Amino acid sequence: MLLILGLLGGASAQPQAAPTLNLMPWPANVQQGSGALKIDESFRVTFTGHTESRLDRAGQRFMERLHKQTGILFTNLGGDTAKATLVVHTDKASKQIQELGEDESYTLEVTPQGAKLNAANPLGVLRGLQTFLQLVDVSPDGFEAPAVSIKDQPRFPWRGLMIDSSRHFTPLDVLKRNLDGMEAVKLNVFHWHISDNQGFRAESKKFPKLQGAGSEGMYYTQEEIRDVIAYARDRGLRVVPEFDMPGHSTSWLAGYPEFASGPGPFSVDQGWGVMDPAMDPTNEKLYKFLDGFIGEMAKLFPDHYFHIGGDEVNGKAWDANPKIQEFKKAHNLKTNEELQAYFSGRVQKLVNKHGKATIGWDEIFVSGAPKDIVIHSWRGPKSLAAAAKQGYQGILSNGYYIDLMWSAARHYAVDPLGGDAAALSPEEQKRVLGGEATMWSEYVNWENIDSRIWPRTAAIAERFWSPQSVTDVNSMYSRLEDASQKLEWTGLTHKTYYRKMLQRIAGAATADEFSALKTLVDVLEPVKNYTREETATYHPTNFTPLNRVVDTASPESDVARHFDNAVTAFVSGSCKDTAASAHLRTWLLKWQANDAALQPLEQRSSFVKEVAINSQDLSAIAGIGLAALDAIAKGTSLTDEEKTQATARIADANKGKAQLLLIPAATIQKLVDAAASGGACTAKN
């Protein structure tokens, strides 16, 4: 039997629906062996081959993580190679400044006797150490890592996470724990959206009014920025700064109104949206200023790529300025797009002059643009494919906007080489460098940002790292739950924030009341896309507290997903599984009774009161679900009228209320459909 299992395991290069290994991202090649390596206090790691202080620190962090994951106090850190449990061999150094496309491959062999990690350079070692940490789990025999042979390398060389530190300032400790999370899932680019209308967050020594007038005191000093870059380098992450221009630039103009297209004065925006102010592309002094500024930042940020933004210039400030209109005529620039292309061209030359290559959003992709720019596609995969056809490199963020509150599965289904890019030639496809998840920060702060990034970004990281054929959603979710737990050992708070925020909302609640609140919020998700913006009853700003249920509820309800899986399985088995039916009933009874348990708290907390409507809906649809189960159990059908009524009530509950969606509504509709005349589970089917 063991032998058969071993053989079956050995044959599976793909994660199965019920995987035995909780790895994320799934490696390029995995062969499971038999037995396991015990992890106890005698565990030690040693490094051979090329050495450098970064590897020493990686070894220390590895042992700290292993301690946190297991609770074991390790007695001996390093030393004698012959006695080491894990021997790490590094062939040679990586580049002094991490480059796009550097080798990140590694091999990892784990046997009951010991483990070996080999890599060409420290980047592969960093990736492999994370794989080892993911393998370690509790077993009937204490902690162990299963025997396995892994040969791994990434599919795409650019695997990023963008964090918007402008709309809400990201404190340094919050940034760093997210860089740790990035390392854990083998991402390699931290794209730092560091200036926008709402704040200029980087210190310029040449032009101190940038942060002086543009940040309300919340900015990163150059020393702090160097610290973040060093921290990132230790984790195998490049740091690509984005200074968004010529739009999204109110915060620049607060200190330097002379570079604006319209009359000042300007002050940083506190609300969201596309704003009118823009730099004046016709002002020669602007380019002199940008030359100095880009020169300063090019020294501060060592990465080869420099992101100039370029998105969403609405042109109103240009249209309103007669001098700019004259300039357009004189230079035969027919449209504002052509004017922006002129600006981008000038800026790209400055970026080149300071030794860097330009990356920018879709809008910088215009005919005649120099071929060394990278197109960052946010509007759709079409432009990425078009750019690749014309010889431009690009990365994809459309489909990876994690601020839109989509499910992990929905992001996971988006492939940088999907859509129009699927039809590209192999050579053109190589120009698609990868992608980035984007954490726009209108509705995130230090407290809930982790929960909006993780764990969903782990699924996106798998899309960027793992072979294209790794697409099984059930496997992804199964591994994601484990990955999510392990991610908290890096210091991330995407699970623990929840109880704290609920406690603030609940105030002095009884245990039963708190439990009822949690039961409700567990099945709510914030509304999707830009609905929160569209349904706001007040004008939200970056001073608006983020302390409501909508700020607390997870972007994706695990409870609702499990319930949906259970209902789907029950219905597809023609509702014959009585144990499954009993299980669903337990769920529904709890939900039905929940509103009564929560009501006292609605009187004492305004935040709970706001979701009273959602609570009533949950109770009502749970009752409908129970009636459907009753009909199925009795072998009767819901009448047409009963079905119509139930469907209308569910549809009402399925509307966003208090900017929240009640996720089980759609699932309960499945039960109603199954129980109604002619449905999957009625006598007449």
Site string for ligand ACM, 593-632 (x = CB under 6 A): ----------------------------------------
Q: Is the dihedral of CA 335, 340, 341, 346 positive or negative?
A: positive
CB of 361 to ligand ACM, least distance (A): 5
Nearer CB in complex with ligand ACM: 306/361: 361
- Spatial distance between the Cα atoms of 242 and 490, rounded to a whole number of angstroms: 26
Exposed (0-12), middle (13-18) or buried (19+): which is 237, by Cβ within 10 Å? Answer: buried
Question: Considering the complex, what minimum distance in angstroms separates the CB of residue 409 from ligand ACM?
Answer: 22
Residue 406 engages ligand ACM in binding (rule: CB under 6 A): no
Pair of tokens at residue 247:
């739009």
* Residues 440 and 544: beta-carbon distance below 8 Å: no
Binding of ligand ACM by 378 (CB under 6 A) = yes
Instruction: Kindly tell me which of 224 and 311 has the beta carbon lying closer to ligand ACM.
Output: 311
Give the residue with the Cβ less far from ligand ACM, 176 or 532. 532
Cα(24)–Cα(258) distance, integer angstroms: 50
Do strands 142-152 and 106-111 pair parallel, antiparallel, or not at all (unpaired)?
antiparallel
Considering just the CA atoms, what is the radius of gyration of the chain in Å?
27
C-beta of 360: minimal distance to ligand ACM in Å? Answer: 10
Q: Which residue is nearest to ligand ACM (CB)?
A: 311
Tell me the number of residues near ligand ACM by CB under 6 A. 4
Stretch 148-207 residues interacting with ligand ACM (CB under 6 A): none
Distance of CA 223 to the CA centre of its chain: 27
Q: What is the nearest approach in angstroms of ligand ACM to the Cβ of residue 311?
A: 4
Nearest to 33 by CA among 9, 15, 57: 9
In what helix (H) or strand (E) does residue 138 lie, and over which residues does it extend? strand 137-139
Cβ at position 18, least distance to ligand ACM in Å: 38
Nearer to ligand ACM, 196 or 280 (CB): 196
Under the criterion CB under 6 A, does residue 312 sit at the interface with ligand ACM? Answer: yes
What sign results for the dihedral spanned by CA atoms 471, 473, 479, 481? positive
Sign of torsion over alpha carbons 261, 264, 266, 271:
negative
| Of 311, 319, 447, 522, the one binding ligand ACM by CB under 6 A | 311
DSSP output for 46-99: EEEES--HHHHHHHHHHHHHHHHHH-PPPS--S--GGG-SEEEEE-S---SS--
**403 or 642: CB nearest ligand ACM:** 403
As measured in angstroms, the least distance from the Cβ of 442 to ligand ACM is: 11
Catalogue the active-site residues: 312
Closest CB to ligand ACM among 219 and 361?
Answer: 361
Which of residues 203 and 244 has its CB atom nearest to ligand ACM in the complex?
Answer: 244
Contacts of 435 (CB under 8 A, 6+ apart): 156, 158, 159, 160, 395, 396, 397, 399, 400, 416, 460, 463, 464
Shortest distance, position 512 Cβ to ligand ACM, whole Å: 44
Binding residue for ligand ACM (CB under 6 A) from 266, 361, 498, 563?
Answer: 361
Residues that bind ligand ACM (CB under 6 A): 311-312, 361, 378
